Amino acid sequence: MIETLRTTMERESSRVVRLPRPDVPPAGRRYLLITPCRNEAAHLRTTLDTTLAQTIPPARWVIVDDGSTDETPHILAEYAAKHDVIRVVTRGDRGKRAVGPGVIEAFYEGLRTENLDDYDYVCKYDADLEMPPRYFERAMERMESEPHLGNLSGKMMERQPDGSLKTFFMGDENAIGAIKFYRVPCFREIGGFVREVAWDGIDGHLCRMHGWIAASIDDPEMRFVHLRPMGSSQGDILVGRRRWGRGKYFMGSAWYYVLAASVFRMKDRPRVRGGVEILRGYLKSAWDRDQRYDNPRYLKYLRRFELFQLVVGKKYGVRIVNRRIRRRPPRLLDAANP
């Protein structure tokens, strides 16, 4: 069974579509940050200061103010006046924070102001992060040394009530949603982000399906701090866990995979209850027959990938798929030689 699943996963990962020849060769290290934000006054200055202090700063930073009602607009105006790299895009007040589709709508409103042909990398980037100074330089070094790598993040730390930092557990198979750093060719090939909950899970599977590696890497120079508890930006943490479960339903995850994930997450705060809420969100969406991501090839790939992980283990399963991707010519060479 394991060999059959492995063979199928490798075959699906090898089905790639060649990209058109680019007009201009990769220019190097020009990266575009796009930050959707709403009411981030409590954390925004930290994000601005630690990003502007990067050893390699962004070529452009588009910050989309998604209808903030706190001091966020004033802080953005202050920094934009001092730093030409920052461009602020203002949206109307929708009345509430809208994670998932709302965040991605704001992201694309910012992206519309730029031409991706002018950049080597594009990053969806949150406004509540504390960044180490070499984060983006190190990310690009990683990309340059691994031509198959299309989507990358470091590992996320969360500040505990006593002030200490704790690593937020996440798998190695995708960049975390707070900071999605993409090669532009990879971002284009997967079709960008889906405008729905679970956009930050679907994209990693699409990367592998198209022959790219998606990863988060535990590099000491790429450990960043998330300044609020993960999943608490719209409601409390339990609301976030239920939303996570609804996202798993939308993205097409099988019930047995979500059950295993829910049990695993019971060790995280809030202990037990958090895992229960993930399962509750998934089952409610199933009961209500909510919409699911309509991409038959992706769904087939996802279900086999999840089953493969359950059979052989998550880390080992990802390692096997990535090893297969590395055996082929890098996608960048495919793009240059159609």
Per-residue pLDDT tens digits for 49-104: 999 999 999 999 999 999 999 999 999 999 999 999 999 999 987 666 566 788 99
- Residue 309 CA: distances (Å) to CA of 63, 84, 148, 258, 303: 37, 46, 21, 12, 10
Say if residues 201 and 174 touch (Cβ distance below 8 Å): yes
Phi then psi dihedrals of residue 225, to 5 deg: -105, 125
Residue 185's CB is within 10 A of a number of other CB atoms, namely 20
Asked if residue 25 has pLDDT above 80, the reply is: no
Per-residue pLDDT at 169? 78
Say if residues 134 and 57 touch (Cβ distance below 8 Å): no
Asked if residue 105 has pLDDT above 50, the reply is: yes
H-type alpha helices, 26-178: 41-52, 72-82, 101-111, 135-145
Question: How far is residue 279's CA from residue 283's CA, in Å, rounded to a whole number?
Answer: 6
Say if residues 122 and 32 touch (Cβ distance below 8 Å): yes
H-type alpha helices, the chain: 2-13, 41-52, 72-82, 101-111, 135-145, 184-189, 199-209, 237-251, 255-265, 273-288, 296-312, 314-326, 331-336
Say if residues 178 and 103 touch (Cβ distance below 8 Å): no
Say if residues 229 and 328 touch (Cβ distance below 8 Å): no
Question: Tens of pLDDT along 159-210?
Answer: 877 778 888 878 899 999 999 999 999 999 999 999 988 999 999 999 999 9
Nearest Cα neighbor of 50 from 225, 288, 308 is: 225
Q: Tell me the domains of the chain and their CATH numbers.
A: 2-21+29-336 (3.90.550.10)
pLDDT band for 271, please (50, 70, 90 cuts). confident
Question: How far is residue 18's CA from residue 335's CA, in Å, rounded to a whole number?
Answer: 6
- Please give the mean pLDDT across all residues of the chain: 87
Per-residue pLDDT at 23? 33
Work out the average pLDDT over 212-223. Answer: 96
Asked if residue 18 has pLDDT above 80, the reply is: no
Query: Cα-Cα-Cα-Cα dihedral of 269, 271, 274, 280, to 10°?
Result: 180
Whole-model pTM: value is 0.86
Asked if residue 233 has pLDDT above 80, the reply is: no
The better pLDDT of the pair 120, 99 is held by: 120
